Structure 1
Amino acid sequence: MSDEPAGPPPPSSQELAGALASNAARKPINVVAALAGFAVPFAAGAPVIVALLVAMVVYAAAAARTMFDAAETARVTAAAGGAGDSDDSESERQA
């Protein structure tokens, strides 16, 4: 056995899910998609409540897409100290 400390424990599934959701919520492209999802119906003459509902659906879809993206998941997992392999996500981006 080694006398070296094992380091911090890996993040739990709940911590990783929270990190993934936070990352997805903060992506600028998702925020822009939500703004566009509000502006287009509003500019077309839809009531504000309808434009807000459309924006919420578009934002949720964009955030879900980001949250379940394999490269983003690997990057967030590696940043959180998990067992994710960030080398794979780098090679996927270059391909």
Structure 2
Amino acid sequence: NSYFQRLNNVIDIAHHGRVEFDYFCCINLPQADGTMKRIYLDVEIQNVENPGYAPLTRGNDYLSRMITSQNGKEYDYRNYDGMKKTYVIWILP
């Protein structure tokens, strides 16, 4: 529907590298005043019991890249308030 949009799960950021998300989307949430609030969501499944790093650290990296990828789309250096909230959900089976 128009409120939910799956996004390209690969983000390349110049001088910072490439990241591949398991499931990356944005959700437009209708507000009572008729406006829309957008959030970005990444869902990751970590199948390796001990990947050799802390998933929390990797999650912080993913959040940072999700925010940086909004630059020039949701916000720029003149309007940092346009930055949208981002969430990462880790599923550790």
**TM-score normalised over the length of structure 1:** 0.32
- Bigger proportion of residues as helix: 1
Higher-Rg member (1/2): 1
- Bigger proportion of residues as strand: 2
